[in-house]
């Protein structure tokens, strides 16, 4: 009967989708479990069947985002070609991905600190690994003399991802700029600011 595969859309998935939407809209603390299950068309019992807690639901949302972003970054970082091009492509991609999944991004930067201390640590560690991978690209360029070396790579990454995370604050689909356009501009700004002296 091909059950669990595709009745319409599995309950677990619907819960994640609706929770993401609501958390992005009103924040984690201002969204009740009751609202989430109502939006997904189920009851609380169903939610606590699939997730250990409201916290766990948030954690799952983060896990999904982090896994996807890390996967994409690795693809671009490990490609062949000049370091400047690889960094540009990776930077451009993360902006486009962020714009395409704006709700995920909003939840991320608004509600991360609402996780329990233990789960928060795990998420921070994952995020750190991601930043380090990105930072290594900058360092590689600096070592090769392609990027200027008089600026800390770590700080450049924080600078850039600050800008990326804040897309959720000001970007609206249908605005004057599309995702790919912003991606190109952001990547250009990053690469230019790293251009070697002289």
- List residues near DNA by CB under 7 A: 1-4, 11-12, 31-35, 42-46, 48-50, 53-55
Report the nearest approach of DNA to the CB of residue 22 (Å): 10
Which own/partner contact pairs does 78-83 have at CB distance under 8 Å and 24+ positions apart? 82/146, 83/137, 83/140, 83/141, 83/144, 83/146, 83/147
- Residue 1 binding result from a second copy, DNA, none, given CB thresholds of 5 to 8 Å by partner type: DNA
Cβ contacts of residue 175 below 8 Å, gap of 6+?
A: none
Query: Which residue of 52, 166, 178, 180 would you call a contact of a second copy, by CB under 8 A?
Result: 166
Entry field: residues in the chain: 198
- Tokens (6 digits) for 145: 């003399």
193 contacts a second copy (rule: CB under 8 A): yes
Computed on alpha carbons and rounded to an integer, the radius of gyration of the chain in Å comes to 19
Reduced to 3 states (helix: H, G, I; strand: E, B; else coil), residue 167 is helix
Residue with Cβ nearer a second copy (46 or 89): 89
8 A C-beta contact, residue 23 and residue 35: no
Would you say 49 or 128 has its CB closer to DNA? 49
> For residues 36 and 156, which CB has a smaller minimum distance to DNA in the complex?
36
Selection from a second copy, DNA, none that 185 binds (CB < 5 to 8 A by kind) is a second copy
Assigned token pair, 93: 């991609």
Helix axes 11-26, 54-77, angle to 10 degrees: 90
Which of a second copy, DNA, none does 103 bind, CB closer than 5 to 8 A by kind? none
Q: For the CB of residue 18, give the shortest distance to DNA in the complex, in Å.
A: 13
Q: Judged by CB under 8 A, which of 92, 134, 160, 179 binds a second copy?
A: 160
Asked if 116 is part of the footprint of a second copy (rule: CB under 8 A), the reply reads no
Spatial distance between the Cα atoms of 49 and 40, rounded to a whole number of angstroms: 14
Question: Looking at 2-133, which runs of residues are DSSP E strands?
Answer: none
Q: Provide, rounded to whole angstroms, the least separation between the CB of residue 117 and DNA.
A: 14
Task: Return residues touching a second copy (CB under 8 A).
Answer: 26-27, 29-30, 109-110, 113-114, 151-152, 155-156, 158-167, 169-170, 176-177, 182, 185-186, 188-190, 192-193, 195
């Amino acid at each position: 009967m091909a059950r669990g595969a595709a009745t319409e859309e599995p309950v677990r998935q619907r819960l994640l989708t609706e929770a993401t939407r609501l958390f992005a809209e009103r924040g984690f603390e201002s969204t009740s479990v009751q609202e989430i299950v109502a939006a997904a068309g189920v009851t609380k019992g169903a939610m606590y069947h699939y997730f250990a807690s409201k916290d766990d639901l948030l954690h799952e949302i983060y896990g999904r985002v982090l896994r996807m972003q890390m996967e994409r970054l690795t693809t671009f970082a490990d490609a062949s070609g000049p370091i400047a091009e690889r960094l540009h492509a990776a930077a451009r991609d993360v902006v486009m991905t962020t714009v395409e999944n704006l709700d995920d991004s909003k939840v991320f930067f608004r509600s991360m600190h609402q996780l329990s201390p233990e789960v928060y640590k795990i998420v921070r560690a994952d995020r750190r690994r991601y930043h380090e991978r990105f930072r290594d690209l900058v360092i590689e360029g600096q070592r090769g003399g392609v990027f200027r070396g008089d600026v800390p790579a770590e700080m450049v990454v924080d600078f850039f991802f600050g800008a990326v995370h804040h897309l959720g604050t000001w970007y609206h689909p249908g605005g004057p700029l599309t995702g790919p356009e912003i991606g190109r501009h952001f990547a250009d700004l990053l690469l230019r600011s790293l251009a070697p002296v002289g």
